[in-house]
Structure 1
């Protein structure tokens, strides 16, 4: 699996700036984190854009399903004022814009492929086409959708794709192997020392989300977790020393 740092900023520095925006990614870098996690889905005209929810309502001044709006409309929306007046005018970024920004900042990305109401296979192919042969940004893909995880091994054979789960299924190893996944991404609340030992004992890289308590982070890392995804990179980089 691609080498990832032990701290990844969840949707950027999302405790300090509006999630999944260029501002949040820039602040994460200032806080000493060199990888971010973000969510990619499709507009109505099949353009790759960054947003977490199925709808626009929570994180923009728009309404309704994101996949029913074309890119030109999405780019007129305010994706920052909901968080703070400081970020008024922040836009929904495209995947291209995000990758260009991360390349300039020398950052890597855990890119979650999130259908959010659009066709998952179309999204997977569009992401693969957008990524193309870019080598200027380290990329780890991931998805909750097993079909997406499986097809990314074909579409992007040079990139790793992690399988996202909330609960670890009893037959996780068989499913993981069948999907040709490169890492297991798990809700940290479901993890125990025993479960971590079971997963890492199979030489499966384990990444967990979303960890905002430094004590919990230290515990998870001591159990063999490869990386934690956090809303608060400033706190985590202060509380947890670099791992060599």
Structure 2
């Protein structure tokens, strides 16, 4: 069954538990080692960040600057992939991960598809490249997941990125990321044809979740690392939870993916 944006609110195909950046803080974020570790703990879905190199290659990185999670320096989006691909994106986390490279979206797709795993791709554009990044990521996703019934969920804090994804690949599911319930969020989500909102967890309660559900939106949250808070949100009607706590017993309940 193909899940379109129109029917995803009724037939939600994604697991409730989502591993943040692959494996939270237990491995170097957004690397293949992190995804492998998250999967070893039973996670069937992952969240990660995608941006573009200077020459338009989609790859995984959260920050605009390279210095926190690689041995490089400067603006990641201002460097070509040939240069970025030589960086060490694992050694900062510990010697066991030294030499771990930055991960191309295409390489991640190959691994996810081989293992029948799902992903929430946060479109994380470098400043001024919102529309370009949204369009390129959407086009790559359509090509890479062409034979899959369940497509990646595209999310972003940047409406311009989601609008570009919507314009070029309208059939892909989209979610609006929110740090707070800012005025006009409903109109933005509706205009972008979103199937979900992904909201910072302190802003969520049963009433706000019910409001989004009444609009036909699923509600996901980030980043919940305490068992009590997770339990409260499940009881409030939450649909999906992004966590760093991939190795904690309370985060071990998993559902099978309805492929």
Q: Is TM more than 0.5 here?
A: yes
For the aligned residue pairs, the C-alpha RMSD in angstroms reads 1.7
1:39 aligns with 2:49: yes
Classify 1:243/1:106 alpha carbon distance in 2 versus 1 (closer, same or farther; 3 Å): closer
Q: 1:127, CA displacement in angstroms? A: 1.1
Is the 2:43–2:254 contact (alpha carbons within 8 Å) kept by the matching residues of 1?
A: no
Classify the secondary structure of the residue corresponding to 1:141. strand
Q: Distance in 2 between matches of 1:149 and 1:107?
A: 23
1:176 aligns with 2:189: yes
Aligned residue pairs, count? 243
Is the 1:188–1:210 contact (alpha carbons within 8 Å) kept by the matching residues of 2?
A: yes
1:11 aligns with 2:21: yes
Classify the secondary structure of the residue corresponding to 1:233. coil
Is the 2:195–2:216 contact (alpha carbons within 8 Å) kept by the matching residues of 1?
A: no
Classify the secondary structure of the residue corresponding to 2:67. coil
Q: 1:240, CA displacement in angstroms? A: 5.5
Quote the residue 1:140 is aligned against. 153
Q: Deviations over 1:113-163 (max 9, x none)?
A: 111235111112211221234234741100111122223222222210100
Could you tell which deviates more after superposition, 168-177 or 17-26? 168-177
Q: Deviations over 1:52-75 (max 9, x none)?
A: 001000000001110111101111
Quote the residue 2:77 is aligned against. 67
Q: Deviations over 1:14-51 (max 9, x none)?
A: 22100000000011111000110010001111111100
Quote the residue 2:5 is aligned against. none
Is the 2:22–2:30 contact (alpha carbons within 8 Å) kept by the matching residues of 1?
A: yes
Q: Provide structure 1 residue ranges, at least 5 long, that are not aligned to the other structure.
A: none
Is the 2:50–2:121 contact (alpha carbons within 8 Å) kept by the matching residues of 1?
A: yes
Is the 1:150–1:181 contact (alpha carbons within 8 Å) kept by the matching residues of 2?
A: no
TM-score (ref. length: structure 1): 0.93
Q: Provide structure 2 residue ranges, at least 5 long, that are not aligned to the other structure.
A: 1-7
1:211 aligns with 2:221: no
Q: Distance in 2 between matches of 1:158 and 1:234?
A: 34
Q: Distance in 2 between matches of 1:11 and 1:154?
A: 27
Quote the residue 2:174 is aligned against. 161
Written as runs of structure 1 = structure 2, the 5 A alignment for 1:14-163 is 14-117=24-127, 119-133=129-143, 134=145, 135-136=147-148, 138-163=151-176
Classify the secondary structure of the residue corresponding to 2:114. helix
Q: Distance in 2 between matches of 1:221 and 1:78?
A: 38
Q: 1:239, CA displacement in angstroms? A: 4.4
